[in-house]
Amino acid sequence: MSKRTSGRIKRPASPKELLDLAAAIYQKHIADGPGSPLYNLEGINWDEIGPMVAQALEHHNKAEEHKRKMEEEYRSRDNMVTHITQANNATKALLKAMFSQNPKKLGDWGYDIDDSIPTKKNGQ
């Protein structure tokens, strides 16, 4: 009784892995030349697909670079937002104390003032 398995072929887990696999397939196809078994595929032309792989990898790499830059920009923004939030809260407290008799004046400073009477929730 043979212990040999038919072998499981792992699927690429990410688009990058898929593109790397396609690049390897295309390289082997080119290396095999006219004897490549991939010429037997019906409806699939690796001579057309192959160049797309390089373009797709280029787009992938550009997207990853944009993603890295985006994350850097968000970190820079978040560092500033902490200070800005503190300033906004202190300003609100000061203006609220200054205009305690007329809190609608905070609207002149850009604050959204809701002076409607709060409604009770159902069942309360």
Domain limits, the chain = 15-87
Q: φ and ψ at 25, to 5 degrees?
A: -60, -45
∠ CA 11-15-21 to the nearest 5 degrees?
A: 55
Report the C-alpha gap between 46 and 33 in whole angstroms.
Answer: 11
Instruction: Indicate the pTM of the whole model.
Output: 0.62
Reduce the DSSP state of residue 49 to 3 states and report it.
helix
pLDDT in tens, 80-89: 999 999 999 9
DSSP state of 4: -
E strands present in 31-109: none
Tokens of 95: 């203006």
pLDDT in tens, 64-76: 999 999 999 999 9
